Amino acid sequence: MAFGGLATATLRGRWAEVLVGQQPDLRVNADRINAHLTALAEFGKNPQGGVSRVAYSEFDKAARVVVMDWMRAAKLAPTIDYAGNIIGRRAGQDASLKPLLFGSHIDSVPEGGNFDGNVGSTAAIEVAQTLAEKNLTTRHPIEVVVWQNEEGGLYGSRAVSGQLTPAELKNVSNSGKTIEQGIAFIGGDVAKLDQVRRKKGDIAGYFELHIEQGGTLEKEKIDIGVVEGIVGIKQWNVTVTGFQNHAGTTAMDNRHDALLAAAKFIQMVNRVVTSIPGRQVGTVGKIQAFPGAPNVIPGKVTCTLELRDLDDEKVDTIYEQIGKETKAIGDQNGTEFAFAELHANIAAPSDARMRALIAEAAKGLALSSKVMPSGAGHDAQAMAQLGPMGMIFIPSIGGISHSPKEYSTPKDISNGANVLLRAVLAADRALA
Amino acid sequence: MAFGGLATATLRGRWAEVLVGQQPDLRVNADRINAHLTALAEFGKNPQGGVSRVAYSEFDKAARVVVMDWMRAAKLAPTIDYAGNIIGRRAGQDASLKPLLFGSHIDSVPEGGNFDGNVGSTAAIEVAQTLAEKNLTTRHPIEVVVWQNEEGGLYGSRAVSGQLTPAELKNVSNSGKTIEQGIAFIGGDVAKLDQVRRKKGDIAGYFELHIEQGGTLEKEKIDIGVVEGIVGIKQWNVTVTGFQNHAGTTAMDNRHDALLAAAKFIQMVNRVVTSIPGRQVGTVGKIQAFPGAPNVIPGKVTCTLELRDLDDEKVDTIYEQIGKETKAIGDQNGTEFAFAELHANIAAPSDARMRALIAEAAKGLALSSKVMPSGAGHDAQAMAQLGPMGMIFIPSIGGISHSPKEYSTPKDISNGANVLLRAVLAADRALA
């Protein structure tokens, strides 16, 4: 076939037009996406709304079974790879071509919402089902992927990109299981992880539709975000060691209170991160004091630290500054800080050709779009290591996510899915 | 009988001499106390030493069974009262007299030690066993008491003194059970709590032997502390409400981070408590951030606040100041603080006659002693509401307690038990 490797955005746009021109009214079934989102919302549903469907939980496992059923209905042949990812594959016209991937995830943060990951996953399956129902066969094989444990740190996708280290398999996930135990729980096999690794060039490309999770699109009344790049993320487990003692008999000036030191640390992180201009963010999201009783001075505190920016060097500079100031905090009351890196995702720019295809697809649907960064990490950043990556954002109402209050309108969701459909078809023509 | 109600310390001392004069070499069996302490250390033993035998845990329940066996061996008839306290009673010579109580507790804090409560409980049983073995019958009925859930807030003893409120029964203990569930679990019955209440004058007196939990006795090389009074303790559950959001997409200046506000609160508590002279202490010992994930800005934090001083008014003044400053912290980033009182123990002076009897007993054993406050709360403070109360301290090595490193020497423990024995016998003669 002679459609691959076109040189300019103009040409690529023309190819997409040719294809969509054959099916000018081709649209996904918006009702089916919404029905699937509604069904997913039942797995790990919280009384106060949203879901707690953390990776490797019973809810996660049950939802994955349903998702695989939907893939079968969409004429995708779903399998679970050794990393625990669900991959629904359909052959293309040209078996010599690398597969074109698109998908997202269905695990949530604790007390998360119903749209983060779910929109992209259900829309990806819907795109495949639409193609199947119209008897459209792409040139490339397509693989609809539901990545495992995105929220814990892109574990599934980084296993495929080769960025997951063996040490990380011992990390404890929000389910209470280690990554290793979790992967076994959902049907993977860590002993064979090297078999899921793909090399640069092993994929034709990757698309992911996702909610913005910020408030820019809604505020600016724009339909579609074309992601220019995904921030790098580094996470650490921080341990503060003091001395456990009786809260009644130990004088204030004789304490080595690990929680007091941790409190100073949390404030310092906020100060250091906001002390320089830019969009970088820093968060302490999790904390525990040991032994954890009202009448005992904490002898140990564990907490997390997370830093993000589009510029990986800036993250390193901030972390260095935090480390310096931490030492001074510990010296104040005889406590010690230790940092253990949980994992690091390097910042990932999207592919210029993929951005053009997305923008063109939006234009073809008479939708407004803008190029913007992603402050959130996504499996797409692991896929960017393997081939051209493109991400499509739709508005998040109020910019709220990782919360039961997370919401995107059915209209925005179907817009996003239709952009994904067109971008996939255009890329199928345009990419090698 | 004509021995009761003597007017001066000199006379009381003389009566004690008369009695102990009949048994000048009367001593407890130190080996048996140590054997019992060693046995107790098995219930809830931590890998790193010490025990986690929080009230209402399986370990607590199992240890109570063993303690009741020891009571039976000491010719005490143990029963569990409706509040869940273990009371081992033996009749005295004069059935018209009120009982003389002594005892302590065997529950621990999470990751606690082997001496806090256990020393006083095993020594109290040992005193009874020594009397039984010597065929000595006191004038008063004696009741050896092992109070339930001392560490959680003197729940057992305050049920008896009538200070426990119905609302407190809903508090969640460190076992995960509510107080109500816990009491049922260990054999009590909250529906009949009013039947365990005693009025002022219902007891002849109360003694408690305890480790100091501070470092004064060891530092000053003194054998026995004669407690002048027990600090008042107030505890609150503090809830900080912010707004849960995505840690990557929410700009630093757009956050309502409940953990950042809690961190400022913890530092402020430390500052306010140390801003005025005195021995008052303030502690935040427990904290949890919700939902509690590295990549989510905490929307809610719960923590505890505890304040202690011998002067209840000082505690109230400090709490008032903390409340004022809390408001300002919340206003800084749009978070809100709410305080729910967990419980309050009012400060309790010991009885001058009981202090004299303890000092006299120490002197008779050629032990040094000093009058000192108790920074820790004890069941003795509830008993002080019902009759004359006296407390005996022995040294804590390094002043460490509520820790696996808590330690008192066998010699100090047998010294304390012998002082308790003599003080009990002297009080039996001296008190009405």
The CATH number of the domain where A16 resides is what?
3.40.630.10
Closest CA to B10 of B349, B351, B357, B350: B357
Residues of chain A with pLDDT under 70: 1-22, 24
pLDDT score of B310: 86
A25 and A127 fall within a common domain: yes
B16 and B161 fall within a common domain: yes
- Taking only the tens place, the pLDDT of each residue in B26-71 is 999 999 999 999 999 999 999 989 999 999 999 999 999 999 999 9
A34 and A176 fall within a common domain: yes
Measured distance CA(B228)–CA(B226) in Å, rounded: 6
Instruction: Record the tokens describing residue A168, joined without a space.
Output: 């990380």
Measured CA distances, A307 to A90, A230, A281, B252 (Å): 39, 13, 6, 12
Tell me if A294 sits within 8 A of A388, measured CB to CB.
no
In sequence order, what E strands does B51-179 have? 77-80, 86-90, 100-105, 142-147
Tell me if B268 sits within 8 A of B319, measured CB to CB.
no
In chain A, what residues touch B174 (CB-CB under 8 Å)? 293
Flag the least confident range among A190-199, A327-336, B2-11, B308-317.
B2-11
Closest CA to A390 of A164, A120, A32: A120
B111, B112, B251 ranked by CB distance to A279: nearest: B251
Closest CA to A282 of A317, A256, A257: A317
B191 and B131 fall within a common domain: yes
Tell me if B306 sits within 8 A of B344, measured CB to CB.
no
pLDDT score of B6: 39
Measured CA distances, B222 to A267, B368, B370, B383, B411 (Å): 43, 5, 7, 26, 13
Residue finishing a domain among A327, A345, A363: A345
Q: Phi/psi of residue A215, each to 5°?
A: -105, 10
B238 and B116 fall within a common domain: no
Measured distance CA(B191)–CA(B185) in Å, rounded: 14
Instruction: Record the tokens describing residue B135, joined without a space.
Output: 């065929």
Question: Side chain identity at B305, as an amino acid letter?
Answer: L
A73 and A162 fall within a common domain: yes
- A275 lies in some domain: yes
Measured distance CA(A63)–CA(A342) in Å, rounded: 27
Spatial CB neighbours of A429, under 8 Å, sequence gap ≥ 6? A3, A15, A16, A18, A19, A139
Across all residues in chain B, what is the average pLDDT? 93
Interchain pair A401, B291: CB under 8 A: no
B291 and B407 fall within a common domain: no
Measured distance CA(A283)–CA(B252) in Å, rounded: 9
Q: Does B291 sit behind a cis peptide bond, omega within 30 degrees of 0 on the bond before it?
A: yes
B192 and B49 fall within a common domain: yes
Measured distance CA(B107)–CA(B56) in Å, rounded: 8
Classify residue A9 by burial, with Cβ atoms within 10 Å: 0-12, 13-18, 19+: middle
Torsion of CA A256, A261, A262, A267, to 10 degrees: 170
- Taking only the tens place, the pLDDT of each residue in B347-402 is 999 999 999 999 999 999 999 999 998 999 899 999 999 999 999 999 999 999 88
pLDDT score of B48: 87
- A370 lies in some domain: yes
- Taking only the tens place, the pLDDT of each residue in B111-165 is 999 999 999 999 999 999 999 999 999 999 999 999 999 999 899 999 999 999 9
B250 and B379 fall within a common domain: no
Interchain pair B247, A213: CB under 8 A: no
The CATH number assigned to the domain holding B302 equals 3.30.70.360
CA angle A252–A257–A259, rounded 5-degree value: 130
Measured distance CA(A266)–CA(B149) in Å, rounded: 34
pLDDT of residue B101 exceeding 70, the answer is: yes
DSSP 8-state class, residue A431: -
Min Cα distance B295 → chain A (Å) is: 6
Closest CA to B154 of B105, B194, B213: B105
pLDDT score of B14: 42
Tell me if A53 sits within 8 A of A60, measured CB to CB.
yes
- A316 lies in some domain: yes
Residue finishing a domain among A329, A345, A361: A345
Closest CA to B244 of A60, A289, A210, A48: A48
pLDDT score of B279: 86
Measured CA distances, B154 to A136, A391, B146, B168, B382 (Å): 74, 59, 11, 11, 8
B335 and B420 fall within a common domain: no
**Residue A321 half-sphere exposure toward CB, CA atoms < 13 A:** 17
Domain assignment of residue A28, given as a range: 9-231+347-430
Tell me if A222 sits within 8 A of A368, measured CB to CB.
yes
Find residue A343's DSSP bridge partners. Answer: A235
- A49 lies in some domain: yes
- Intra-chain end-to-end CA distance of chain B, in Å: 10
Min Cα distance A262 → chain B (Å) is: 8
Radius of gyration of chain B (CA): 23
- A104 lies in some domain: yes
Tell me if A235 sits within 8 A of A341, measured CB to CB.
yes
pLDDT score of B242: 98
Tell me if B305 sits within 8 A of B235, measured CB to CB.
yes
A329 and A391 fall within a common domain: no
- A408 lies in some domain: yes
ipTM: 0.74
pLDDT of residue B15 exceeding 70, the answer is: no
Query: pTM of the prediction?
Result: 0.73
B254, B294, B400 ranked by CB distance to A286: nearest: B294
Question: Side chain identity at A383, as an amino acid letter?
Answer: M
pLDDT score of B17: 44
- B173 lies in some domain: yes
Closest CA to A150 of A220, A233, A72, A68: A233
Measured distance CA(B363)–CA(B357) in Å, rounded: 10
Instruction: Record the tokens describing residue B402, joined without a space.
Output: 């509520």
Tell me if B200 sits within 8 A of B385, measured CB to CB.
yes
B52, B110, B308 ranked by CB distance to A248: nearest: B308
A316 and A270 fall within a common domain: yes
Min Cα distance B325 → chain A (Å) is: 16
- Intra-chain end-to-end CA distance of chain A, in Å: 10
User: How many CB pairs below 8 A link A and B?
Assistant: 244
pLDDT of residue B4 exceeding 50, the answer is: no
B233, B262, B289 ranked by CB distance to A285: nearest: B289
Closest CA to A223 of A35, A409, A67: A409
In chain A, what residues touch B402 (CB-CB under 8 Å)? 244-247, 291, 293, 295-297
Residue finishing a domain among A325, A345, A365: A345
- B2 lies in some domain: no
Min Cα distance A45 → chain B (Å) is: 15
pLDDT score of A189: 97
Q: How many domains does chain B have?
A: 2
